[in-house]
Structure 1
Amino acid sequence: MTEPATQSRTVPLADGALELQWSSITHRGRRRDANQDAMMAEFPLFIVADGMGGHIGGEIASASTVDRLRAVAAKGDVGPKTIEKALARAVGDIASHPETTDEGTGTTVTGVYLDLTGDEPTWVTLNVGDSRVYLFRDGGLAQVTTDHSVVQELISAGRLTPEEAENHPYGNVITRAIGPSDGVLPDYVRLEVVDGDRFVICSDGLTKELTDYGILHFLLQHDDPTEAADDMLEAALENGGRDNVTIIVINAHRTGAGADGAAAADAAGDADAAGDDDSSTTAP
């Protein structure tokens, strides 16, 4: 098990700064012989990969994918083009180990990176498979990524409820992964940078054992990323620990004019809305 430790970085912005804190932890769980998860938390890219495949094939797939993405982060040129080139190279790495991999060997890859190339900074999530990115904002938790899984397709088609999905026999079957075929591209979601946002990036070893409400509970209980990640892991293990568990927690605090401007804009919007309500009630 990798011991968690909170890391920090201050990112200068044109109108202030973004103060980041993050922590990462991984564990093989209580029922697995090995940990086929891999992770990296190296600014500006934060990634979780959950390998699949017999023997050590899954471990090779997840480690190769993370290593290729680590090289992208080290160069500081993180974007869809460089990410997809890295993933294509990872597919080649996986295929170059025929003695330990097969057609079913692959890995999920899920994460978030900070994009500073535009006029305003943005977060961008990426996802292949059923590992997840959650966003904590304004006291609530939302899943940003969409699972690439048989169960999610059934839910989207209205043939299965989220409650029924929890114990579905095809719960572990994913429909997209890095490794089994060429040309697999991530889904991307772009998000504005808001003061106080927190991200949880995790493999399904966490979400098998902990509900979204449980994840929210530990975020509300702990401001420190290390304490939040540590308690989530402990709860997952206590609830069965049926799979490898990997968690990254990121805190983001925006300071300066950007944060003040966002607050002022919200206040102005509320005032305009109130004004609109008053005028509508007094109009003839």
Structure 2
Amino acid sequence: MLDVSTRSRTVRVPGGELHLSWAAMTHTGRRREVNQDAVFAEFPLFVVADGMGGHVGGEIASASAITRLHETVDAGTVSPKTIEKALARAVKDIASHPEATDEGTGTTVTGVYLETSGDEAHWVTLNIGDSRVYLLRDDAIVQITTDHSVVQELIAAGRLSPEEAENHPYGNVITRAVGPSDGVVPDYVRLDVVSGDRFVICSDGLTKELTDYGIRHFLTENADPAAAVSAMMDAALENGGRDNITIVVLDVAPSSPAAD
């Protein structure tokens, strides 16, 4: 059993309180010598970055993105504006290592944060690249983010089926990333806050080894986020662990009315 623990926090939201619990883990996998994934899981932001690039370029890219996003949480404001400023700083950080990075260097940035500034709380997913956010609601699992990849574009154009995509030679080619010369804006999706929801945020190291049905299975079998993360990680490694693997499971417990 790999070492992972569940953390929890009760947060005030408009109209009441929300109890969140989560667990996060990253693993090099069985085929790679270096882990170029990075993860940040601290309320209100839960995000995964999957770096790419030779030498240490991918590590620099993912670490830069996570470090800069961490700063937005420390500053107390997570919003599209602060996220995009953070990613712009990460681009400069990556470019400041020309000896270790090149045009092939970059990172995905995918996650979810809780927005509490309006009349109602909302989840907001953000995505650049092919890491993913899944939502398990009412026993159905849905991929919320849309991959920025050559394969996804072929699927959208009707030139490739999802089944054919699984073993496509361009399966690893992404069309949007945070890199040394690219200032990119994430895609955002707003979601209602619903008690009982479970989010999975993961790099493609997980989805290469587990189907959506497999992810749903391990969520259903493991009520505790740490147990779910650990079970998915064990299964992904057992299935080959061909890439770095990063997983966050985030649970939304029933909210209670605010005290007078």
- Length-normalised TM-score, structure 1: 0.89
Cα distance in structure 2, aligned partners of 1:256 and 1:81: 30
Cα distance in structure 1, aligned partners of 2:60 and 2:180: 13
Cα distance in structure 1, aligned partners of 2:31 and 2:108: 20
Kindly indicate whether the alpha-carbon contact (under 8 Å) linking 1:24 and 1:248 is maintained by their aligned counterparts in 2: yes
Kindly indicate whether the alpha-carbon contact (under 8 Å) linking 1:107 and 1:179 is maintained by their aligned counterparts in 2: yes
Structure 2 residue 241 is matched with structure 1 residue 241: yes
> 1:197-248 deviations in whole A, cap 9, x for unaligned?
0100000000000000000000000010000000000000000000000000
Structure-2 residue corresponding to 1:92: 92
- The Cα of 1:183 is off from its aligned counterpart by 2.6
Matched AA of 2:150:
V
Kindly indicate whether the alpha-carbon contact (under 8 Å) linking 2:94 and 2:180 is maintained by their aligned counterparts in 1: no
Structure 2 residue 45 is matched with structure 1 residue 45: yes
In the TM superposition, 1:124-203 aligns within 5 A as: 124-203=124-203
Give the structure with higher Rg (CA): 1
Kindly indicate whether the alpha-carbon contact (under 8 Å) linking 1:104 and 1:180 is maintained by their aligned counterparts in 2: no
Cα distance in structure 2, aligned partners of 1:81 and 1:103: 26
Matched AA of 1:253:
A
Structure 2 residue 228 is matched with structure 1 residue 210: no
Matched AA of 1:100:
A
Structure 2 residue 65 is matched with structure 1 residue 56: no
Q: List gaps (5 residues or longer) in structure 2.
A: none
Compared with structure 1, are the counterparts of its residues 14 and 88 closer, same or farther at alpha carbon in structure 2 (3 Å cutoff)? closer
RCO higher in structure (CA 8 A, sep ≥6):
2
Cα distance in structure 2, aligned partners of 1:224 and 1:230: 10
Structure-2 residue corresponding to 1:71: 71
Cα distance in structure 2, aligned partners of 1:91 and 1:218: 36
Matched AA of 2:73:
A
Q: Which has the higher helix share?
A: 1
- The Cα of 1:76 is off from its aligned counterpart by 1.6
Q: Secondary structure at the match of 1:236?
A: helix
How high is the sequence identity, in percent, across the aligned residues?
Answer: 71
Structure-2 residue corresponding to 1:10: 10
- Length-normalised TM-score, structure 2: 0.97
Structure 2 residue 102 is matched with structure 1 residue 102: yes
Kindly indicate whether the alpha-carbon contact (under 8 Å) linking 1:28 and 1:244 is maintained by their aligned counterparts in 2: yes
Q: Secondary structure at the match of 1:200?
A: strand
Cα distance in structure 1, aligned partners of 2:242 and 2:12: 42
